[in-house]
Amino acid sequence: MDTILAVKDLAVEFATYGGTVKAVRGVSFDVTRGETLAIVGESGCGKSVTVQSLMGLIPMPPGRITNGTATLNGKSILNLPAAEANKFRGVEIGMIFQDPMSSLNPTMTIGDQIAETLKVHRGKTDQEAFKIAVELLERTHIPEASKRAKQYPFEFSGGMLQRAMIAQSLACNPAILIADEPTTALDVTIQAQILELMLELQRTENMSIILITHDLAVVARMADRVAVMYAGQIIESGTVDDIFYRSSHPYTLGLKQAMPSNTHDRDKSLSPILGSPPDLFKPPVGCGYCARCPYAMAVCAEHLPPTTKISESHEARCWLHHAKAPNIEELHQLEDQDAG
Amino acid sequence: MLVRTEKLKKHFTIGRGQTLHAVDGISLTIDENEILGLVGESGSGKSTFGKALIGLHPKTSGEAYYDGERLPKRFSTKDHLHYSKQMQMIFQDPYSSLNPRMTVLDIVGEGPGIQGQQSNSEIRDKVAFWLERVGLSADHMSRYPHEFSGGQRQRIGIARAMIIEPRFVVCDEPISALDVSVQAQVINLLDELKQSMGLTLLFIAHDLSMVRYVSDRMAVMYLGSLAEVGPSNDVFFDPQHPYTQFLVESNPEPDPNLERRRAFKPIIGEITSPVNVQAGCRFADRCPKVIDRCRVETPELITLSGARQVACHLFE
């Protein structure tokens, strides 16, 4: 397949007053043309830091990329000087953020902000750029686009602002759109509109999407492939069906059991994941999840589990997949017996 | 029934002769030991309804009854003191709803302190008991809110409400700010407290799946008025009001096969402004089944069958 973006062994840390936070600890993934890769995880797992370091958006200092490579169409994009980074940022990779209100300039009209992208990267004149900006707003289905282009962000609703952000990110026809929690701040009906718009644009532009989210339901609607992150590492990755129907890491299983499934049996109680994520000032030597894992073994606390290939598309980072480990299915059955 | 409202209204005057109709005539009942889920988009007035109900907002008009007693239109200090023994609230944001300059002991112990008749050491013991009860430790008493994670803070908020041993609690989006794994912890805790203390809850949230899971009955709000009320599973699996249908259709499920099968056109447009609302159905502008009557006449809640109610002219 046609790999556009390849990230390998990425590690990012931040020097803070309290010590060094190891936010991303060796993350590798690929993105191929036209696909949607979802990176899921809870707050603090390093999913946003991962994509921000690709875009050169990590303030350095205090941030530091300590290891790893990232190549976009074969060219390295990590640790570039700003002038170099600007050649691909917003051109080959577009990005939209969780909070569109604070990501747009409140003192510029929406149309001018989109036009700015075109003037900087495509050398368009003011008039040309503004005309294209209006077309872009129309493509993201903003009603009365030519009138709305002359308005300021405060005159837009949250959903409309997110549309405007998408219009801006599409200005240079990027190969990849990074969407960092694009619908978290939106209501469910507006979320449905924005997700539908992203799918539509992906089809027409043959664009890849990296979707950062904490919401497994959004992942189920949008993703082709999924990477589940925990404590700065990818602990499981695979196709969306691998992750949902053949979950192979106790954390992924735990997340699924913590969510209500919409079946009639109301009595089946939710199983929360007990405890909280590890302190990344002193990341655990072994598996990051072992303190919360119901299947944890002695080896989990002492050694980092290797990444095991479960099928051609599916990988998990867990000692339970080691040849000598007890079978996770057997563990499930034991648990069911206990419960029964 | 423990709580009842009748055509409860809360309007805000926002200057230049304009009125914001946040809550526009809500008639609801909540039975003893029931969880009523209240769902709706942001701006639909669900939090304002919860606050007006327990006296945190004075009511513009309409009535609210608690255990047969008519609640005052505007609560005096004395009313607050009286009713806060019975009715409590858990807030959405575990960050801004705890005073950062107070210790956990002060925060959780403030209620019993104000209610009086207890010595400091009694309050201390009670706080210790409740911290353990919500899954924290008695040692946490001397700490400040910033030393806790979001889930732990929400537990402090729950302990603060529960230490009074109320009968009725308004939970205003108690899990929206929390991660999935922690949401389940808080939901299970609320459910356990409901069982053991015989609590009645008004559970306000926008997460439809969670509300269906938690509540016995569900009420759907749109722009200050009720669209549909009924047993949670009935409303979720067989929605009648066009708005509820859209809400359920928009709600993504954590199941890729289900999502691939979904043939769904997202609803067009957005929630309109609640300022100077005219007569007519609030949802008329976005409704695909709109008829002329919807634009001139406000639909009343009508009973369909048993416990199901819907406010839509199509059912009359």
Tokens encoding B62:
């309409």
Instruction: Look at residue B120 in the predicted model and tell me its pLDDT.
Output: 87
What value does the mean pLDDT of chain A take? Answer: 86
Of A217, A270, A272, the CB nearest to B254: A217
Contact B151 A43 (CB under 8 A): no
Rounded to 5°, the CA angle A236-A273-B193 comes to 155
Contacts of residue B125, defined as CB under 8 A and 6 or more positions apart, other chains included, come to: none
Which of A160, A187, A262 lies at the smallest CB-CB distance from B206? A187
Q: Which of B180, B215, B258 to mutate to test the interface with A (most CBs of A within 10 A)?
A: B180
Instruction: Give A218→chain B minimum CA distance, Å.
Output: 6
pLDDT tens for B162-221 read 999 899 999 998 887 778 878 888 888 888 888 898 899 999 988 888 899 899 999 999
Beta strands across the sheet bearing B69-70: B19-30, B3-13, B61-66, B69-70
Contact list in B for residue A254 (CB cut-off 8 A) is 181
- B62: closest CA of chain A, how far (Å): 29
Chain-chain contact of B180 with A159 (C-beta, under 8 angstroms): no
> Burial, A261: exposed, middle or buried (Cβ in 10 Å; 0-12, 13-18, 19+)?
middle
- The sign of the torsion formed by the CA atoms of A78, A83, A89, A91 equals negative
pLDDT tens-digit map of A74-92: 888 888 888 888 888 888 8
- A235-249 pLDDT, tens digit each: 999 999 999 998 889
**pTM of the full predicted structure?**
0.85
Interface of A with B (CB under 8 A): 42-43, 157, 159-160, 187-193, 195-196, 214-221, 223, 240-241, 244-245, 254-256, 258-262, 264, 266, 269-274, 276
Cα A128 versus chain centre, distance: 34
Tell me the per-residue pLDDT of A141-200, one tens digit each, with 9 for 90 and over.
Answer: 888 888 899 999 988 888 888 889 999 888 888 999 999 988 887 888 888 888 988 998
Q: What are B120-156's pLDDT values in tens digits? A: 888 999 999 999 888 888 888 999 999 888 888 888 9
Q: Does B125 touch chain A (CB under 8 A)?
A: no
Closest residue in chain B to residue A217, using alpha carbons only? B254
From chain B, the residues in CB contact with A195 under 8 A are: 252
Asked if the C-beta of B151 comes within 8 angstroms of chain A's C-beta atoms, the answer is yes
Residues of B with Cβ-Cβ distance to A245 under 8 angstroms: 256
| Residue B37, SS3 per DSSP | strand
CB contact under 8 A, B187 and A270: yes
3-state secondary structure string across chain A: CCEEEEEEEEEEEEEECCEEEEEEEEEEEEEECCCEEEEECCCCCCHHHHHHHHCCCCCCCCEEEEEEEEEECCEECCCCCHHHHHHHECCCEEEECCCHHHHCCCCCCHHHHHHHHHHHHHCCCHHHHHHHHHHHHHHCCCCCHHHHCCCCHHHCCHHHHHHHHHHHHHCCCCCEEEEECCCCCCCHHHHHHHHHHHHHHHHHHCCEEEEEECCHHHHHHHCCEEEEEECCEEEEEEEHHHHHHCCCCHHHHHHHHCCCCCCCCCCCCCCCCCCCCCCCCCCCCCCCCCCCCCCCCHHHHHCCCCEEECCCCCEEECHHHCCCCCCHHHHHHHHHHHHC
Q: Is B206 on the interface with A (CB under 8 A)?
A: yes
Are the beta carbons of B188 and A269 separated by less than 8 Å?
yes
Compute the nearest-CA separation of B25 from chain A (Å): 23
- What is the ipTM score, two decimals? 0.80
Put simply, the answer to whether A270 touches B253 (Cβ < 8 Å) is no
